[in-house]
Structure 1
C-alpha cells in the first residue's frame, strides 16, 4: 500500500535560527499515525488483505484505466464452500483461522500488481490488471487447486477446504459499470456452486483467441512457480 513520503530525519531539520524545531518530533509522529490510519482504513483486520472499501475504490479506477489504455482487466470472486457448516462443526475460532489460511494462499498465488480483497464474510475478490480472460482462468484454477490441496492444520486434524470461483474479463469496449461487472462475475460463481462446488466457472475461451504479447516476467508470474512473500 502507498505511504506518505518519508520525512527527513528530525535531527537535520532546524528553525531559521539554527535551533532544532520544537515541533518536528510531533510532526513526524503525526505522519506515522496518518500512515497507520491509511493502512487500517484499507486493510481487513483479520486477513491482512485489502478490505471491501478499498475494493470499491480500486475497481472503478482499474476499469477506467482499461477504457483509456485498452488493456484487459479481469476479476475473480472466490467463495469458501459450505462455510456455514464449517463454523457449525468446528466453531468460529477455527472459521477465522480458515479465513486467514485461505487469505495467505491467495497472497502467495497472485502477482504483486494484483489486488486481493476480502469481499465480505467468506468471499474474496481479486482484481487482475492487464490480464485477459484466458490468463485469469489459469490464475483462478491455481487458487482453487491451492485451497483444495492445502487443508487447514489444527492440532492433529487436517480439515479440508474447497472454494468455488467465478471469473470474467472487462474490456475497453464493454459498457458495464462496476456493479454490473461484479454481477457478471458473481453469476459465474453461482454457476460453480450450482454445478457442485470446488469449480472455476467463466466464459468459454480459447488460447488461440487470446494470444497476446506477454512479457517473460508476466508469464512467470501467471504460470510459473509463485514465490511466497518475504517473511
Structure 2
C-alpha cells in the first residue's frame, strides 16, 4: 500500500508554501527598513547636541498644538527658557564645557517634564517647551520645578562645580485666543525678557489673549424678550 502524500495545511498554495522562507526574509527586510526610516526621522527632527527636538520640529509641533486647542478647547502653553549669563560660561570654561552645560540643562529638563510634554532646543542656549492640554497655573508649576532643579544641580566638570540658572517666559493659548503662532512666541519671549530684567532665575507668565465679544445691552435683552413673548 503506497503512502499518501501529506497535504500542506497552511493557507498558501503549494508553490507559494515552498517560497515561505523567501517571504519571511522579505518581511524581515521590510521591518529593518521601517526601523531605519524611523531612526532617520528621529535624526531629522532632533538636535544633535542635546537630543531634544530641534527648532524645525518645534514649529511643526506648535502648529499641531494650536490646532488641537482650537479643536478640543483645552489650553496649551509655550515656555521659553534661556540660560542665564551663558556667554560667561563659554568665556570662562571654553565652548566644550559650554556644550556640556547645554547637555546638562537638556537632561534636567527632560527628567523634570511629563511624558506628554515636548522639549525643544530653540537655538543657542535657549530652549522651548510645549505643554499640551495644560492650563497656565500647571505650566508655571512645572517651569518652577525645572528652574529649581537646575539651580540646585550644578554641572560637575574638570573638578569644578559650575552653577547654572535660567529665566523662563510663559504664554498660554486658548481656543478663542486672538494670537497667531508667531504672536504666541513673541508673547512668551516678552515674558522671558521680563524675567531677565527683573533679576533672572525666575518664571514670568502671561495669560492668553481672549476674544472680546460685545455685551448685549439691557434694552436689547428686553427687545428680545418681547419678541419671544409675542410669538407665544
TM-score in terms of structure 1 length? 0.78
Shift of 1:27: 2.7
Aligned to 1:46: 49
Superimposed CA distance per residue, residues 91-125 of structure 1 (whole angstroms, 9 cap, x where no aligned partner): 01100100010011101111000000111111110
Aligned to 2:37: 34
Does the alignment pair 1:60 with 2:59?
no
Q: 1: CA distance between counterparts of 2:83 and 2:131? A: 20
Does the alignment pair 1:189 with 2:192?
yes
Greater Cα radius of gyration, structure 1 or 2: 2
Aligned to 2:18: 18
Does the alignment pair 1:82 with 2:120?
no
Question: Which of residues 121, 125, 135 in structure 1 aligns to 2:138?
Answer: 135
TM-score in terms of structure 2 length? 0.78
Structure 1 gaps, min length 5: 1-14, 206-231
Structure 2 gaps, min length 5: 1-14, 209-232
When structure 1 is superposed on structure 2, of 193-202 and 163-172 the one drifting more is 193-202
Q: 2: CA distance between counterparts of 1:42 and 1:18? A: 43
Does the alignment pair 1:105 with 2:108?
yes
Report the structure, 1 or 2, having the larger helix content: 2
Question: Which of residues 160, 165, 189 in structure 1 aligns to 2:168?
Answer: 165
Aligned to 2:206: 203
> How many residues end up aligned between the 2 structures?
191
1:181 aligned counterpart, secondary structure? helix
Aligned to 1:226: none
2:79 aligned counterpart, secondary structure? strand
Shift of 1:175: 2.1
